[in-house]
Amino acid sequence: MKLVHWNPWQEINTIQRQINRLFEEEMLPSTLLDRTLAKVPAAELQETEEAIHLKLELPGIEAKDLDVQVTEKAVYVSGERKSETKTEGKGITKSEFHYGKFQRLIPLPTRIQNTNVTADYKDGILNLTLPKAEDEKKKVVKLNLESIG
């Protein structure tokens, strides 16, 4: 029987080569990441006494490709990031950009006046100012405390 010397570093090198080959052969996107999942836009919500301010990150999307609907209790945003196809000879293009349709429903913490919403869309950032409904605004009430006696 022949005695074989075991080198654990050799096995680690083998695994590293297999991982590198996985990336080189572009097997990673098709097997480990589901490219069909639409990426939803990141959102930031800030509430003040008078309104809710909603900011959505929508880079690379034109305003005409957006659909924004506002109810008293939620904001619905949908759109499509369209692929730009360029053919510049025989080259390989690798892209991490996500194209396709997306949609997002953002529930609001309080009721709003959906008829008085203002919007601003610039440089891929959508800013919505959603004024609160009158009965939802915080009102200060002075209490008259009398000593019990």
Tokens of 124: 């891929």
Residues 47-73 pLDDT 10s: 998 999 999 999 888 899 899 999 999
Burial class (CB in 10 A: 0-12, 13-18, 19+), 131: middle
The yes-or-no verdict on residue 147 having pLDDT over 70 is no
The pLDDT score that the predictor gives to residue 77 is: 93
Calculate the average pLDDT of the chain. Answer: 79
Average pLDDT over residues 37-54: 87
Which has the higher per-residue pLDDT, 93 or 55? Answer: 55
Full-model pTM: 0.62
The yes-or-no verdict on residue 30 having pLDDT over 50 is no
Residues 8-22 pLDDT 10s: 788 888 888 887 776
Tokens of 115: 């008829």
Torsion-angle region of residue 26: left (phi > 0), alpha (psi -120 to 50) or beta?
left
The pLDDT score that the predictor gives to residue 40 is: 81
Integer Cα distance of 9 and 101 in angstroms: 46
pLDDT band at 33 (very low <50, low <70, confident <90, very high): very low
What's the CA angle centered on 123, arms 118 and 128, to 5 degrees?
A: 20
The pLDDT score that the predictor gives to residue 28 is: 46
Which has the higher per-residue pLDDT, 71 or 94? Answer: 71
Tokens of 4: 């074989």
